[in-house]
Structure 1
Amino acid sequence: MVGMILRFGRRKLHTIISREVIKPSSPTPSHLQTYNLSQLDQRGTHVYMPLILYYPNHHKICSLTPNDKAQKIKKSLSQSLTRYYPFAGSLHTPTTPYIDCDDAGVVFVEARNDSHMNMSQHINDGTVGQLFVDDMFWQTSPHRASLVGVKLNHFACGGMALGVSMSHRIGDGSTLGSFVSHWASVARYGSTDHEQVLPFNPQFLQSPPATTNFLPHQVSDLNPRCVNPVTRKFVFPNTKLSDLKSKVVLPSTNGGSIANPTRVEVLTSLLYKTAVAAATTARSSSSSSKPHFLLFPCNMRKKFVPKLPQTTVGNLITGFIVMTRHESETSLSALVSEIRKQKMEVESVQSQELARQNIDSIMSRLGNEDLENVAHRFFCCSSLCGLGFNNVNFGWGNPGVASITYMSSKQSGSMLMDTPNGDGIEAWVSLETQDMKIFQNDKELLSFCQN
């Protein structure tokens, strides 16, 4: 189902109940008080990824009062921070190559809302950002040292929305998913040493002190692409994705065929194809001969040698770009074929150093283009499917909605996540307003969306 347009209003929704700092339940040992960021972490930006988890009030599952639930969440957060000790530390500048693990803690805010919990309303009236602490919502702050912020929102119906913000400087979407999964498991079982919690314990890579201060790469540095952006949610059921895969499996124009494309591959191709067509239509026809760029980030934990656990902390990602210049290159078969080809090449990136070099190569390639035009023809598609956000259970059931809404004001693209019931993918798509007007009415795109 096509979602509502997201707009940012400043209407006050919440009454603040309390504000406190949650510190680790045990102090960080002296030998762990400096956490050196890897070369890949240093490439990340100090921008806050926002995860929102909506929990309906299920009386039959849990009889705890809202205050009891809040205390349980805070206690388990404190316990979890003993394992995720860098998350309670400080980043003194956006480019500091290490985290001071000083147990400064995590800001935790509780707020009350007299309305009923309704994500569609928050999307419609543009108040989603107010469910997070201190504007830690796709924002970069050169003055904020904290790495994580949490806001617990209580609604009149007894439901809750938990807003968790994490700096991209310390980890990627997989790190955020592992962190909240560990935190919830501690809440359920009461201890970080419980046998059911141990599989969720974080893994840290040892990084030497930086001899070179790698400055963050920001795609937005190529020039802000969205002057007046809007974001919409599109839901693609698995039955429709199967239809889409069947369409792509047909023989391609070069005489070959595409064997068993993934849901993410075909959906990414469809979204990019539709976005390019919308941008071309919205602008002069003379722009159609200029290349467009698809950036596809990749989780490298299972690609590295040796393989790394999913719970490994950090920005363990690289990516690839697909450049298209002609309409024939944006057919679904052509795009899926190129994505598959690029993914196979990424298989050779088997270390952090090679991943960092690959990122530098991507930025260099983009930098060789006309920078003013690249930003206006750039589409980033990230997938967080399979990372367990829909299973974050603190003891009162899984969230009814779990989402990292893609609302960057400087970059067009999409964020893919599993639907709460696991029966499809929801895509949060951010585009320039004039492009979105065309994109959201594309007949082919809508034919694969939920009715």
Structure 2
Amino acid sequence: MTIEVDIVKRETIKPSSPTPPELRHFKLSLFDQFYPIFYTPLILFYAGSDPSEAAQEKSRRLTTSLPEVLTRFYPFAGRIVDNLSLGCVDQGAEYLEAVVNCDLSRVLKEPDTAVLRTFLPATADIERADATTMPLVLVQANFFECGGSAIGLCVMHKVADAEALCTFVNAWAGTATGAITEAMIPEFRTASMFPPLDSLANSFPSIVPAKEKCVRRRFLLESSKVAALRKRIEGPGGPASTAVEAVSALLWKCSATASRKKKANLNKMETPRTTMLSQTVNLRRRMEPQLPSNLAGNLAGYFLTRADEREMEMRVLAVRLREALEGYCESHVKRLQGDGACAAICEETKEFGELLGKSLVMDEMDFYSCTSWCRFPFYEADFGWGRPVWACQESADCPNFFMLMDARDSGGIEVCLTLREEDMALFEQDPDLLEFASLNPTIRG
């Protein structure tokens, strides 16, 4: 039987209190300006309860708490005016309700990307529309026959990075249960820290399309496997690597090796080729002093490191990652806290765009992007029916992209990875990958 998701309700939900006149013109920060028009998706799955009452009660709790949290996160209920500001006159968020013709266990047994995307609000038509008409938050509440549920959430990246998204989700859950804390109440002051450029007011960045077919796979490294990987990389007397560094090094090594093998097969010869990895950095945790986690907006940078085919060894790559992060914090992050912040952000964005173009358009190098959502407490989002049994991120098929999230079991890491089709076929056969990661295992509720 095909899994069917039927939309049975659609409404616009507005803040419970009107936004004061002095807050209705909201400036974006310079970081916000450099993000294209696209949504960051998140799906939270919850185990079932009494099916006869679950959907009605859950829907009521979601729809009565969302207006309250939108009052606190008032820019999220606004609309884009240009690439400089938002108009916050309480246009609201889009809320959809859907029924699913199966039990949640069927979805979690062998998660399928095509099915998972049906639990999210459709954004393709919205992203092609006029940016000034787009809702910044879209929600789809999905209810299964067993009483389980899935909350699909899409938030415009212009207003929130991963940490801001997590703060919003937990503030919404805290509002629903009456357990909201001071740490969940957002601060909106990034534009005063990193003022926008007027020259970018009418210029929205675009997304570079992939030329080749890409495929996505989900992998799980259980906590024991992450520990074993870190031990392998550390070696006798070597420097300790973090879990994210170790997993990133594994993925980088296996991906670059697959790409080199594919090109050798096509060209019938080995061709030396540079490989680079960019990894996101949550700047709130890197500033001195640290910035609060509830500081909303975009505050993410990235560092770069490169290697050649002679250095495709996990220990070497892990050290490169550690050194690159330390260098980034020592130089770039310090510039962000000084008079050179604007120049530093512009230079970083330009460099990233040029490297992406060389990889996707000109095929001059292998360029990989890694984003880590580890340590973000998505699994704490309890709307009144327990914590999620699974939190996952389903994004567009961007090639050579690694997405890391904490697994539900403490210490494990889930990977959502997108590669070109030919590279993925070789990647999945890598012995190092097979030793530490399992492909798309069942989610244990």
Please tell me the TM-score bracket, short chain as reference. 0.7 to 0.9
Q: CA deviation at 1:121?
A: 6.8
* DSSP 3-state at the match of 1:387: coil
| 1:228 matched residue in structure 2 | 213
- In angstroms, what is the RMSD of aligned CA positions? 2.7
Which residue of the other structure, out of 340, 358, 361, is the alignment partner of 2:322?
340
Deviation per CA, 1:286-331, whole angstroms, max 9, x where unpaired? Answer: 5741212211110000222442111111110111112222x22221
1:138–1:52 distance in 2 versus 1, CA, 3 Å: farther
2:85 is equivalent to residue 85 of structure 1? no
Percent of aligned pairs with the same residue?
28
Q: Of the candidates 277, 282, 286, which is equivalent to residue 299 of structure 1? A: 282
8 Å CA contact 1:225–1:412 kept in 2: the answer is no
Give CA deviations for 1:149-180 in whole Å, capped at 9, x if unaligned: 00001111111111000111112111111110
Give the aligned residue type for 1:172. Answer: D
- Structure 1 141/337 Cα, relative in aligned 2: closer, same or farther at 3 Å? farther
> Which structure carries more helix by proportion?
2
Structure 1 match to 2:262: 282
Partner of 2:234: 249
Q: 1:283 to 1:122 in 2, by over 3 A?
A: same
Distance 1:125 1:249, change over 3 A: closer
Runs of 4+ in 1 over 4 A off after TM superposition: 136-144, 214-218, 367-371
Contact 1:226 1:410 in 2 (8 A): no
| 2:3–2:101 CA contact under 8 A, matched in 1 | no
Report the Cα distance in structure 2 between the residues aligned to 1:411 and 1:437, rounded to whole angstroms: 14
Deviation at 1:362, TM superposition (A): 2.8
Counterpart in the other structure of 2:94: 107
**Structure 2: runs of 5 or more not aligned:** none
TM-score normalised per structure 2: 0.87
Say if 2:128 is the partner of 1:128: no
278-287 or 49-58: which moved more?
Answer: 278-287
The alpha-carbon distance between structure 1 residues 297 and 216, as it changes in their structure 2 partners (threshold 3 A), is farther
Could you say if the C-alpha distance between residues 160 and 211 of structure 1 is closer, same or farther in structure 2, counting changes exceeding 3 Å?
same
Q: Deviations over 1:91-111 (max 9, x none)?
A: 145xx2111112100000001
> Is residue 243 of structure 2 the alignment partner of residue 238 of structure 1?
no
- Cα gap change, 1:210/1:101 in structure 2, threshold over 3 Å: closer, same or farther? farther
Take 2:434 and 2:125, find their aligned partners in 1: how far apart are those partners? 29
SS of aligned partner of 1:65: helix
Aligned residue pairs: how many?
422
Q: Describe the SS at the equivalent of 2:198.
A: coil
With over 3 angstroms needed to count, the CA separation of the structure-2 counterparts of 1:299 and 1:140, relative to structure 1, is farther
Mapping for residues 343-358 of structure 1, pairs under 5 Å: 343-348=325-330, 349-350=333-334, 351=336, 353=341, 356-357=345-346
Report SS of the residue matched to 2:200. coil
Which stretch of the first structure deviates more once superposed, 380-389 or 355-364? 355-364
Query: 1:408 aligned to 2:388?
Result: no
Matches for 1:166-181 after TM superposition, within 5 Å? 166-181=155-170
Q: Are the equivalent residues in 2 in contact too, given 1:417–1:427 (CA < 8 A)? A: yes
Q: Alignment partner of 1:15: what SS? A: strand
Gaps of 5+ in 1: 1-10, 252-256
Out of 415, 431, 435, the position equivalent to 1:447 is: 435
Match of 1:97 in 2: 84
Distance 1:425 1:125, change over 3 A: closer
Farther-moved stretch of structure 1 (410-419 vs 287-296): 287-296
Distance in 1 (alpha carbons) for counterparts of 2:69 and 2:391: 20
Inter-CA distance 435–122: structure 2 relative to 1 (3 Å threshold): same
Counterpart-to-counterpart distance in 1, 2:270 and 2:357 = 18
Q: Is the 8 A contact 2:3 2:102 kept in 1?
A: no
Q: Distance in 1 between matches of 2:252 and 2:94?
A: 38
Q: 1:22 aligns with which of 6, 13, 19?
A: 13
SS in 2 for 1:156: coil
Q: How does 1:2-401 map to 2 (within 5 A)?
A: 13-58=4-49, 65-92=54-81, 96-117=83-104, 118-120=106-108, 123-124=111-112, 126-135=114-123, 142-143=130-131, 144-189=133-178, 196-207=180-191, 208=195, 210-213=197-200, 215=203, 220-221=207-208, 224-225=209-210, 227-250=212-235, 258-284=238-264, 288-325=271-308, 327-348=309-330, 349-350=333-334, 351=336, 353=341, 356-357=345-346, 359-360=348-349, 362-363=351-352, 366=355, 372-374=361-363, 377-401=366-390
Could you report, residue by residue, the CA deviation over 1:118-159 in whole angstroms, capped at 9, with x for unpaired residues?
Answer: 334784371222211133699665545211100001111111
1:121 and 1:421 map into 2 onto residues whose CA distance is 17
**CA 278–421 in structure 1, closer or farther in 2 if over 3 Å, else same:** same
Partner Cα separation in structure 1 for residue 53 and residue 20 of structure 2: 35
